[in-house]
Amino acid sequence: MKPARSKHCSVCKVCVPHFDHHCIWINKCVSKFNHIYFLAFVGWHALICLYGSISYLLVVLGELKKDTVKDHGAHDKLLDVYSWFELPIVFWSKMLQFNNENKVLGLLGLLNLFFTCFLPIFFGYHIRNILVNRTTNEDVKVQRMFYGFTNQIIIWSTLLAKLSS
């Protein structure tokens, strides 16, 4: 008889107590024994991607400012040349131009922006699972049973009730 909340991992070929999921990035099963290390892994990667995205955007902003100074003369601020409406459009066009000139850096920058958007969501999902005392495996099974957002509304409302009290 297997222990409660355990599962046999088909990749590792072992029975894992309090099985969360098998992670291909660390090539191990995430369970109650290493869940904190997995969260640290995801959290640090989210911060590193944020740092890379900010650096990428600052490089593109520097290129935009350099071109603006070259085209319009010496201006201290971009808002002296462009309005609040024009600046995002000009910045986006400069980003596309920069990515065409520096294909590898542009591709890595856009990939980094993508991961910067989704890693904090992934990290938050696992924090939510910890707060409601549920593993990813159990969460997926519950979502399959209820087909939809009804169960998620119940989970979030009970979580908010716990946090507010």
16, 6 contact by CB (below 8 A): yes
Instruction: Compute φ and ψ for 14, nearest 5 degrees.
Output: -135, 160
Instruction: Compute φ and ψ for 39, nearest 5 degrees.
Output: -65, -40
Give the active site residue among 9, 12, 23, 29.
Answer: 23
18, 5 contact by CB (below 8 A): yes
Alpha helices in 73-149 (DSSP H): 86-101, 103-131, 136-146
Q: Is 23 a catalytic residue?
A: yes
- What is the token pair recorded at 28? 């191990």
As annotated, the active-site residues are 23
